[in-house]
Chains A and B, each alone.
Chain A
Amino acid sequence: MRHLLSAADLDAKEAMRVLDTAAELATLTDRSVKKLPTLRGRTVVNLFFEDSTRTRISFEIAAKRLSADVINFAAKGSSVSKGESLKDTALTLEAMGADAVVIRHPASGAPHRLANAGWIHGSVVNAGDGTHEHPTQALLDAYTLRERLRQGSGDLDGLRVTIVGDVLHSRVARSNVLLLSTLGADVTLVAPPTLLPTGVETWPCTFTYDIDSVLPTSDAVMMLRVQGERMQAAYFPSAREYSRRYGLDRERMGRLPEHAIVMHPGPMNRGMEISADVADDDRSVMVDQVTNGVSVRMAVLYLMLGGSTEGAA
């Protein structure tokens, strides 16, 4: 694995390799010495052009647990003049000898540019680019589904996963549709027509505008964050109407099968896409998702940097 830019970069075999590796690395939390020497001497840079304490810390812990040196670079994309920030920053990182750059950026495709423009030689991990993709989120979601609903091994064949929310603007949705279908899951998207992307009918999933029709047959429901600002651009008329038609509240939760779990990539808009009591229910696995995020990111960094790095595809 040279770069991880999109969930489509992984076929089923590679995806399961990441999950299996993550499962082994997850046991690290129970040890007294929560460290492995594997990436000693490697430098991992967290290049975050968008605020995200949670994801950044997750990558930082993952890298440090593998004994890598971590450099955190936080830049507010809006306050730096256009364009200069990414290239100039990349050249600085190259001079620092970064082996891997974990990048989160508001522009879709920024990780692709970083990987292909010839500015740096290291590996690039996409930690979220605009409304395009967030592959490690999809990996930790797949890991969580596997752990909770498939006894922690194998693929997700036949698992029915429903993703609800602003799919149009969601990089989490895009990566999950790609990765979960690669692993054999049946994915259904639920959103109002205005929040589904053009061409969604060509995606490897189904979609519906009616959340209530799919809840009784869902093994897992993933709620996406819906921003209030979308109201201003007329994607939906009001927060009230949105949460009434697409929100997951206690009543809707009651229509899920007994074994079903509720997921959310965070941060949550309690009261909008998910009610507070649902968020705190036993069947909501958001905390597990965060824990699994570290294991999965450790696996990605190990598979990327833990062996020879020349000549990798």
Chain B
Amino acid sequence: MDAALTSGDARTVLDENDISRAITRIAHEIVERNKGISDLVLLGIPSRGLPLAARIAAQLERIDGGVVPLGSLDITMYRDDLRLRPARALEPTDIPARGVEGATVVLVDDVLYSGRTIRAALDAVSDFGRPRAIQLAVLVDRGHRELPIRPDFVGKNLPTSTDEKVSVRLREVDGFDGVTIMGGVA
């Protein structure tokens, strides 16, 4: 993905604590919206959606006491832009044993941008069964949707211009937590 974080023109918009609070809030919102955690299934979209989903699942367990089924959903094979680059390596897809049939699936990703990743994720989930509902939780919504997709739970709304780069770093993948914006007109 993106290059080193600590370059001169990178501005931190969320630090470790901000991220932690955002996840806690998202977890509460999920419980509130769904009136509990029954029939919920969390699916993280690789790569950074996975640790986020895991953290949300841990929070949900703290809040509610029950364990929410957790899995991963790789959307590579469903992308609409496959022909633009050489074939990409696949990430793991691991649907919990309960499946998605009749469940409320909460997709988890780090950044929502054009919406095409989520469109692919919707197609991917449908091939596994028919959920009762699909909801979307993202850490950052940076705007510029190209498809009619909207998130249900947002960590932070971050208006950006298209020539800016948003980088999400997570402890589990990158060794530390932080969200930065780089480039664009300061």
Binding site for B on A (CB under 8 A): 1, 17, 20-21, 24-25, 27, 31-33, 35-38, 66, 302-309, 312
Contact = CB atoms under 8 A, between A and B. Distances in A.
B85 A21 contact: no
A37 B93 contact: no
A32 B85 contact: no
A216 B65 CA distance: 54
A32 B129 contact: yes
Nearest to B101: A32
A24 B94 CA distance: 9
Interface string B58-89: 00000000000000001001100011111111
A306 B89 CA distance: 10
B87 A304 contact: yes
Contacts of B93: 24, 27
A308 B89 contact: no
Interface string B90-115: 11110000000000000000000000
Interface of B is mostly: loop
22 contacts: A17-B89, A20-B90, A24-B93, A33-B127, A35-B127, A36-B77, A36-B78, A36-B127, A37-B77, A37-B123, A38-B78, A38-B82, A66-B77, A304-B87, A305-B87, A306-B88, A307-B83, A307-B86, A307-B87, A307-B88, A308-B84, A312-B86
Nearest to B130: A32
B176 interface: no
Contact of A38 (B77, B91, B92): B77
Given A38-B77, A306-B77, 19 more contacts: A21-B90, A24-B74, A24-B93, A31-B127, A31-B128, A32-B127, A32-B129, A36-B77, A38-B82, A302-B87, A303-B87, A304-B87, A305-B87, A306-B87, A306-B88, A307-B83, A307-B86, A309-B83, A312-B86
A306 B85 CA distance: 9
A63 to B, nearest CB: 14
Interface of A is mostly: loop
Interface of B: 74, 77-78, 82-93, 123, 127-129
A31 B89 CA distance: 21
Contacts of A309: 83
Contact of B90 (A25, A33, A308, A312): A25
Contacts of A306: 77, 82, 87-88
A22 to B, nearest CB: 9
B128 A33 contact: yes
Nearest to B124: A36
Contacts of A24: 74, 90-93
Nearest to A17: B89
A21 B76 CA distance: 11
B85 A307 contact: yes
Nearest to B91: A24
B91 to A, nearest CB: 8
B78 A37 contact: yes
B32 to A, nearest CB: 32
Contact of B85 (A20, A66, A305, A308): A308
Contacts of B128: 31-33
Contacts of A21: 89-90
Contacts of A303: 87
